[in-house]
A and B are shown apart, each in its own frame.
Chain A
Amino acid sequence: MAVIVHEDFQFIVQGITGREALNFTRECLQYGSKIIGGVTPGKGGREVYGVPVYDTVREITETQRVDGTIITVPLAFAPDAAYEAIDAGIKEVIIITEGIPRKDASAIVEYAELNGARLIGPNCLGVIVPDVCRFGSLGGPAVDCRKAFKPGVVGVMSRSGGMTTEICNALTLSGLGVSTAISIGGDPVIGSTYVDLIPLFEADEDTKAVVVYSEPGGTAEADLARWTQENDSRLPIVAFVAGQFMDEMPGMSFGHAGTVVNKKVDSPADKMRRMREAGISVAEEIGDIPDLVRQAIGN
């Protein structure tokens, strides 16, 4: 079992000839992921690490099954790339591109919903099921990636791509391992929030607990607290809220675009309180997470 991806998951990379895309395309291939094509307008006919490059998405979807796409194009082109993928019938869309205004993100999300596609991101690093499929840029080169992500029992959702790997590394070092990790994105409007994704973990028999990394700004943590109270979930949740220093600096933004304390619900203190009240275990320090997971699953 796995969340979102599976062993035969086939995907493409839009913007494959860019500096970042080259890096992670090679890393995914080394990891064993099935990248069956890439798209860069004007560079059709080329090849990148053995992956054929096309001018349009449809050239690939017309001849092959494409389960997902990773979009990492310059931000002015990101909405167009997403519409192209969705119109070509791709159902799992990851947007890595950072800095997309929330109006555009909101429009992409709505278009994806109308067409039955799922959007992860923007401003995320994607999904990994250790030793099964890496769909995105998590973990770096395969050799480093395998050190951070070992198969195990903990599902991870994180608003920070970097902290996804950090937390998974700690879970792996502690022997608990990772079932599926999802970097959901750090922007104020993202395609899939904790509440959208947690039912997938609920249905995943490999997952015994979920770890959530969160930051100042937004309603996602309050929503998760509400979900936990309203649903009789089998999964214990351990959460960590970074950026507590920001409570002293209202109106300033650090870290991600979505990270700002303007409203009460934005504040780390408020998020921690709501989640604790809902029975979520909230770690004081990032290093406490593995022990809290162990306590929660009685291991």
Chain B
Amino acid sequence: MAMFIRVDVDNTVIEKTASLADKLVEVCPVKIFKLASQPNAVEVVEENVDECTLCDLCTQATPEGVRVVKLYE
């Protein structure tokens, strides 16, 4: 569905740090992440991905756990 941005999440990295999942949900200004059903993990909200402002707050929170890819590059 998203045409311009892809967000890859590695929950095996995220679950290692306490409350990192909460932080990802909180920092994203366009609500790309939501808490997953399993603890300490996130899911990507596909319909919000093209709204990504490339603010880097998620990748700053976890450089290994999240990757943001510009599909137009």
Direct A–B contact in complex, judged by CB atoms less than 8 Å apart: yes
Name A's B-contacting residues (CB within 8 A). 18-19, 22-23, 26
Q: How far is the CB of A82 from chain B (nearest CB, A)?
A: 24
Binary contact track B21-52/A, C-beta < 8 Å → 1, others 0:
00000000110000000000000000000000
A contact patch SS: helix
Q: Which residues of chain A are near B29, meaning CB under 8 Å?
A: 18-19, 22
Size category of the B interface is: under 10
Q: How far is the CB of B50 from chain A (nearest CB, A)?
A: 15
For chains A and B in complex, what number of residue pairs have CB atoms within 8 angstroms? 10
B contact patch SS: loop
CA distance A77 to B38 in the complex (A): 38
Residue of B nearest to A48 (CB): B57
10 A-B residue pairings within 8 Å (CB atoms)? A18-B29, A19-B29, A19-B30, A19-B53, A22-B29, A22-B55, A22-B57, A23-B53, A23-B55, A26-B55
CA distance A23 to B54 in the complex (A): 10
Residue of A nearest to B55 (CB): A22
Q: How far is the CB of B22 from chain A (nearest CB, A)?
A: 13
Q: Which residues of chain A are near B55, meaning CB under 8 Å?
A: 22-23, 26
CA distance A26 to B29 in the complex (A): 14
Q: How far is the CB of A41 from chain B (nearest CB, A)?
A: 16
Other A-B contacts than A19-B53, A23-B55, 8 sampled, CB-CB below 8 A, are A18-B29, A19-B29, A19-B30, A22-B29, A22-B55, A22-B57, A23-B53, A26-B55
Q: Which residues of chain A are near B57, meaning CB under 8 Å?
A: 22
CA distance A24 to B57 in the complex (A): 14
Q: How far is the CB of A23 from chain B (nearest CB, A)?
A: 7
Q: How far is the CB of B8 from chain A (nearest CB, A)?
A: 22
Complex A-B, nearest 6 residue pairs according to Cβ-Cβ distance, in ascending order: A19-B29, A22-B29, A22-B55, A23-B53, A19-B53, A23-B55
Q: How far is the CB of B23 from chain A (nearest CB, A)?
A: 10
Q: How far is the CB of A29 from chain B (nearest CB, A)?
A: 13
